[in-house]
A = this chain, B = another copy of it.
Amino acid sequence: MKQDALPGRIAAEMASLIAAGDMPAESHLTAQSIADRFSVSRSPVRAAFKMLEGQGLVRQNRNRGYFVKPLTARTKSAAMKSASSNRDGPRAYYALAEDWVRDQIGDEVTETLLLDRYRISRSELTAILTRAVAEGWIERKPGYGWRLLPVAKTAEAQAQLYRVRLLLEPAAFLEPTFRIDRPALDGLRNDLERICDGAYLDWPEDRLHAIGVTFHEELVRMGGNPFLHQAIQRVNRMRRLLEYRSMIDRHRILAETREHLEILAPVAAGDLVEASFLMRRHVARALERKSGPATGTP
């Protein structure tokens, strides 16, 4: 079996966009534009179209391509389901991550052990290890074997992750290279406002989560320091690893989204010091909440 199913991932993401109304009914989905968006060729995109057609989300017009069908209650729920069922990573990756977080596996493992335990092919294992290395919770031992690194399993560790964010995120605004990216800013505001306008009740969980993460990462990206941006991306991926199972509290999402909009205002006005201050307060609040119960998307 192919390691990850590119068409499936593309289809899932498009389903999410359609369900969220980003791709209105009757609009023409040109294969090349979708391909460009995902930076792939048209081949996997066509495969994705066929999957979406099977779900009743798009319609093919012979020699004219694919068009978005109007959403019905049926197709809408199908779209949301497909969007969330298709996580962006191989099943075994999450299985390993979960085993590690739950202490179901030792901290030094051999490749054969993993191969055997998760019933995967060598190249799938390679992909998983590469990813885990990139996300910083696995490293190769000098000889044979891999070492699983400490990860935010405990409440204390979660807090430590937030302390790193507290250091990095407010600092991004103060980088000398900070440049406001209007289109990105407008895109963010648009999403956030729609969430506040009720979408926080409708949209699939992973989309809400993704928008929250994107908000933080985009702002850090505007800081113009790629290493800062990279550091935050890693922290967020690590966070995702731990939080992906937890239910989202949709009312907390609303509260946090309002804070996000509050931060956006001074950024748009060019008051970066104020933005930095608000961001610090925002992350600090999230850190405080970590002493409490469930998990949101600050």
Point out residues on A near B: beta carbons under 8 Å.
Answer: 6, 9, 38-41, 44, 126-127, 129-130, 133-134, 136, 139-143, 149-152, 156-157, 160-161, 163-164, 167-168, 171, 175, 177, 225-228, 230-231, 234-235, 238
Contacts and interface: CB of A to CB of B under 8 A. Distances in A.
B130 A163 contact: no
Contacts of A151: 226-227, 230
- Interface of A: prevailing SS: helix
Nearest to A139: B134
Nearest to A176: B163
Nearest to A141: B39
Contacts of A235: 227, 231
5 contacts: A6-B143, A40-B141, A134-B136, A157-B227, A160-B225
A102 B175 CA distance: 26
A90 B117 CA distance: 30
Contacts of A141: 39-40
B227 A142 contact: no
